[in-house]
Amino acid sequence: MFNLGRSAKEVVGLDLGANSLKLVKLEHKAGGHVLKALGVRELPPECIVAEEIKDREQIVFEIQSLIDEVDPKIRDVVVAISGHGVLTDKITIDKKFGAEAEQAILFEAEQRAPFDVEDVTLDYHVIQIHEETNKMDVLLVAARNEFLHNYLELIQAAGLRPVIVDTDAFAILNAYEINYDTDPSRVTALVNIGSDLTNCTFLVGGAYHSTRDVPSGGRLVFEAVEREFRLSPELAQKAMRGELESQVDPDMLKAPVVAAAEELVGGLEVAFSYFRQLAEVPKIDWIILSGGGALIPFLPEYVQAQLNIPIEIANPLRNIEYDPEQFTDIQPERIAPLLAVPIGLAARKVK
């Protein structure tokens, strides 16, 4: 949303999550994108908790290590922010252009924002123009200056230049739009389960409607598995990936996963109910599930059963070209749901 850079044929998306770093380099070409580089690096436990950076030096080191591992020449990156420091809203105003539109949008932002507009960085995007009513729907994004500056300083301390600052929710939406045909007859929820935060982005009539965050995620499940089987964080990660079958029967994971997921499901139920009332729709037709939570055993099935909504596991690589032989150390298709945010970021046009 906040464009700070110049045009490029290759764009790098860097996703700084609470549990891991994900980096994707895409080549932009006529009619599509090509995956040129990919890297994932797990962060040490407790580096980032509840959106708060606990160990800045360690994170900078991990970012630099990931860059060195994937491509030491990388400098320009597209990054994303989310959580309490970011406000998104959809407003409808009279159709205007240029400075007149910016003035009207700023006025609306002042009326709606829960904080002083002088303390935030604003951007907007016109979603739809209604010629019959001479109105237009505008997506408004506001980031707290202190929150934004601290995040950018962290990226810059790693020797990188953030050329676009997006939001997680809109990166996920971008990844969806380049990989799926939107169905205007279906109400869609894009749900990205992170470690501490779950992003829900809703589409109605084939177009963006709204976004809502749930302050819960996969960390609860991992901590439950740690306690249940008395594992270190590192071993709990391996157990969730099915790499400790000799120590942990995969079927035994179900009970702690389901118990820990109750809070997440409760948060989703509240978010979905609020959306249905806001959008005046009777139901949500399907969920596209992404993020690390989509890879947790038994979790997608449990969420689907509790919400009674069909779930499809996101594949943000379905329309992305790549040579499997180029990625011998990492299999992109196995971790595809984890890549929704960085792919959505790397698919941005950098001007």
Fold annotation for 181-313: Nucleotidyltransferase; domain 5 (3.30.420)
Angle at 316 between CA 217 and CA 310, to 5 degrees: 60
Between 31-40, 189-198, 203-212, 241-250, the lowest mean confidence (pLDDT) is in: 241-250
**In 47-160, at which residue ranges do the beta strands (DSSP E only) sit?**
48-49, 52-53, 76-81, 86-94, 120-130, 135-144
Nearest to 194 by CA among 61, 83, 47, 64: 83
Name the band, by pLDDT with cuts 50, 70 and 90, for residue 351: low
Segment 218-230 shows an average pLDDT of 93
Count of C-beta atoms within a 10 Å radius of residue 30: 4
Segment 47-68 shows an average pLDDT of 89
Residue bearing the bigger pLDDT, 269 or 247: 269
Strand pairing category for 32-42 and 320-321 = parallel
**pTM as predicted:** 0.91
Between 1-5, 27-31, 230-234, the lowest mean confidence (pLDDT) is in: 1-5
Provide, rounded to the nearest whole percent, the portion of the chain with pLDDT above 90.
Answer: 62
Count of C-beta atoms within a 10 Å radius of residue 40: 20
Between 5-19, 217-231, 276-290, 327-341, the lowest mean confidence (pLDDT) is in: 5-19
Task: Say what the pLDDT of residue 4 is.
Answer: 44
Name the band, by pLDDT with cuts 50, 70 and 90, for residue 2: very low
pLDDT > 50? residue 3: no
CA distance 132 to 135: 8
Mean pLDDT of the chain: 90
pLDDT > 80? residue 188: yes
Segment 219-237 shows an average pLDDT of 90
Q: What is the pLDDT of residues 256-276, one digit of tens each?
A: 999 999 999 999 999 999 999
pLDDT > 90? residue 142: no
Segment 17-30 shows an average pLDDT of 93
Spans of all domains in the chain: 181-313
Task: Say what the pLDDT of residue 152 is.
Answer: 94
Between 4-8, 138-142, 236-240, 305-309, the lowest mean confidence (pLDDT) is in: 4-8
CA distance 313 to 148: 31
Segment 314-331 shows an average pLDDT of 92
The encoded tokens of residue 37 equal 């580089």
Q: What is the pLDDT of residues 78-130, one digit of tens each?
A: 999 988 888 888 888 898 888 888 888 888 877 776 667 678 888 888 888 88
